[in-house]
Chains A and B, each alone.
Chain A
């Protein structure tokens, strides 16, 4: 069983601040995905990383996959109220479907 631990569980910041959230596991993943979920909606895919050490940027969001492919981080620069939501990471190996962490609930105050 692959267990994904996300931290922090909750994060409340002011608009314009930077933040980093983490996704850690003792298991090696062939790929890892980050999703954002807003209240009353399903998760929406933000990025997929597959190579150890890979860094992907999506506007103000920077995603990094650990060298050992066991962990990942999401960094948001100059957070905006529209970034508010539940950030979920999901990892899988070659044979298994994706398993999700419990998420980090981010609130960005104007």
Chain B
């Protein structure tokens, strides 16, 4: 089974620029998550989708971050404009079903550096 695909693997941008990340989850996984992992910390949930609907975006900084999951498959996460503190690894994960007991499969992440 193919894993969760993310691109790009690395991105370096200047502050105030825009950036977009792409995620293709495991086929058949209805639930998709975007996490932000700052160096030395655990992953922090940004947004959760169930099919193409948003389930939880309470920790998404909506003034600069946006995400969509058109057609309930691929997803994109955008930052506009980026700040220095957005430097982190952005992880996408998917699971077969929402909630407890359903293990997440993570992609390798996109490492963003804002300079």
Is A93 a contact partner of B100 (Cβ separation < 8 A)? yes
B106 within 8 A of partner (CB): yes
Interface size on B, residues (CB 8 A): 26
Looking across the interface, which residue of chain B has its beta carbon closest to that of A49?
B101
Bound-complex Cα distance A94 to B100 (A): 6
In the complex, per-residue mask of B92-104: 1 if CB is within 8 Å of any chain A CB, else 0 = 0100001111011
List A residues 18-69 near B (Cβ within 8 Å): 30-31, 33, 40-45, 48, 50
In the complex, per-residue mask of B15-47: 1 if CB is within 8 Å of any chain A CB, else 0 = 000000000000000000101000011111100
- Given known pairs A42-B4, A42-B109, the reply for A100 and B43 (CB within 8 Å) is yes
Q: How far is the CB of A59 from chain B (nearest CB, A)?
A: 18
Is A42 a contact partner of B48 (Cβ separation < 8 A)? no
Please indicate the chain B residues that have their CB under 8 angstroms from the CB of A31 in the complex. 100-101
Q: Say which residue of A6, A33, A99 sits within 8 Å of B103 (CB atoms).
A: A33
List B residues 75-111 near A (Cβ within 8 Å): 91, 93, 98-101, 103-109, 111
Chain A interface residues toward B at CB < 8 A: 4, 6, 30-31, 33, 40-45, 48, 50, 88, 90, 92-103
